[in-house]
């Protein structure tokens, strides 16, 4: 979760500079992740067969969708607010699929989920400190994409190979933006994008795929809601972002929901 929060802070840190393009940042981020994970793909290729089915192509598409909309949204959102919208949508996506699968929740878990959703809705209520709706919608799309990506990851046998494959399969998707859109990224922006792609994304997502194999869908959804508080703290520390009452109250609601859920945490895979 620290790696996920770091992605929010790093992306926002790069995009506060108007000279840095969110698309260029994403291109370098995904490319860096693919380069770092290429060794693991080659090492495991003979033992891990690549099955050409819809999930094989859906994972890199969802990864690319998440990464692009994530960056586009962070042009206007603060680190904490962006992470809160992102992972609230991740939670709702994963819990909706868990419901369709017939995964049951206790009364306590339902209360926890309701509190978390209430916090998300409160954040988006009209008011002085309401985040820009266009940016919020783009981050919501990023959250849904990451939710689908995480759901597919629960079924992966080899997390390292799966993550490496997904990053490598994003490369064809990057061709069109890299050809038709101008590359605008400062030296600092390039280093931030490389750090985000190689470390907090590439290695962080490998670890996340390991974790996904050991917990239920509902638990995975709620655990990720710890990220907004970490991202908000990072935004205050590294970006000098102001503490807004709306964000604090939304985080309190969501963390109350996480606390109720964690007490019922099931470590068996669903």
pLDDT at 268 over 60: no
Show the domain range for 12. 2-262
pTM: 0.83
CA proximity to 147, closest of 228, 87, 99, 101:
87
Element (H, E) at 140: helix 133-153
- 143 by DSSP, 3-state: which? helix
For residue 88, what are its two tokens?
A: 């609230």
The answer to the question of residue 143 being in a domain is yes
Helices (H), 74-106: 79-100
Supply the mean pLDDT for the chain: 83
- Place 9 in a pLDDT band, splitting at 50, 70 and 90: very high
How many domains are there within the chain? 1
The answer to the question of residue 270 being in a domain is no
**DSSP label at 20?**
S
For residue 141, what are its two tokens?
A: 């799309």
The answer to the question of residue 267 being in a domain is no
The answer to the question of residue 141 being in a domain is yes
CA proximity to 246, closest of 78, 86, 70:
78
The residues near 105 (Cβ < 8 Å, ≥ 6 apart) are 113, 218
């Amino acid at each position: 979760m620290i790696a996920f929060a770091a992605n929010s802070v790093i992306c926002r840190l790069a995009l506060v500079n108007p000279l840095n393009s969110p698309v260029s940042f994403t291109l370098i981020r995904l490319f860096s992740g693919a380069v770092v994970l290429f060794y693991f793909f080659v090492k495991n290729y003979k033992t891990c067969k690549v099955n050409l089915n819809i999930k094989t192509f859906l994972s890199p598409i969802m990864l690319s969708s998440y990464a692009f909309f994530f960056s586009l949204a962070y042009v206007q959102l603060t680190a904490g607010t962006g992470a809160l919208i992102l992972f609230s949508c991740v939670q709702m996506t994963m819990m909706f699929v868990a419901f369709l699968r017939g995964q049951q929740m206790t009364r306590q878990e339902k209360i926890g989920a309701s509190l978390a959703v209430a916090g998300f809705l409160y954040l988006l209520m009209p008011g002085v400190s309401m985040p820009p709706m266009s940016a919020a919608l783009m981050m919501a799309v990023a959250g849904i994409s990451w939710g689908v990506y995480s759901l597919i990851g629960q079924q992966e046998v080899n997390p390292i190979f799966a993550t490496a494959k997904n990053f490598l399969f994003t490369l064809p998707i990057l061709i069109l933006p890299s050809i038709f859109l101008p590359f605008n990224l400062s030296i600092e922006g390039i280093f931030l994008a490389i750090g985000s792609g190689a470390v907090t994304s590439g290695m962080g997502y490998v670890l996340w795929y390991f974790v996904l194999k050991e917990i239920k869908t509902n638990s995975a959804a709620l655990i990720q809601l710890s990220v907004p508080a970490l991202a908000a703290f990072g935004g205050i520390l590294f970006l000098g972002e102001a503490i807004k009452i709306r964000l604090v109250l939304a985080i309190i609601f969501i963390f109350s929901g996480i606390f109720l859920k964690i007490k019922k945490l099931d470590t068996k895979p669903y």
